[in-house]
Amino acid sequence: MGGWVYILLCADGSFYVGVTARLWERLREHMRGYKDTAYTASRLPVRLVWYKFFDRIEDAIAAEKRLKGWSHAKKQALIDGDARLLKSLSQCQNQSRSTPLRRDGIDPE
């Protein structure tokens, strides 16, 4: 059984990332504010801005988890199809992580 990963743009400008086996039904639920405590219920209206189908639901769930950890800018680059910006935003921005450590764990600088 496959699944969809999707990104909604909320009225407040935030993104919601979700996963479902039935995309259009799930989108209608979001648009109706089906659950008062749901993230999107207080941020209506929402608009579907990106989606992708995975043959295995497990792969869709893994992709959803990765996307949820992305910054707003990185999600926007994905939505825009801007591969160059997405690659740039994916590179480590932390100086300590971009410098290789010696085997003894001591920074070479």
AA identity, residue 24: W
* CATH fold group of domain 3-69: GIY-YIG endonuclease (3.40.1440)
Q: Where do the domains of the chain lie?
A: 3-69
| pLDDT (0 to 100) of residue 109 | 47
pLDDT confidence bin for 107, thresholds 50/70/90: very low
| Per-residue pLDDT, 8 | 98
Nearest to 91 by CA among 71, 65, 62: 71
5, 64 in Cβ contact below 8 A?
yes
Collapsing DSSP to helix, strand or coil, 75 comes out as helix
Using alpha carbons only, give the angle 65, 70, 8 rounded to the nearest 5 degrees: 75
Counting runs of H as helices and runs of E as strands, what totals does the chain give? 5, 3
If pLDDT is split at 50, 70 and 90, which confidence band does 91 have? confident
Q: Supply the pTM of this predicted model.
A: 0.82
Q: According to the model, what pLDDT value does residue 43 have? A: 95
pLDDT score at 99: 55
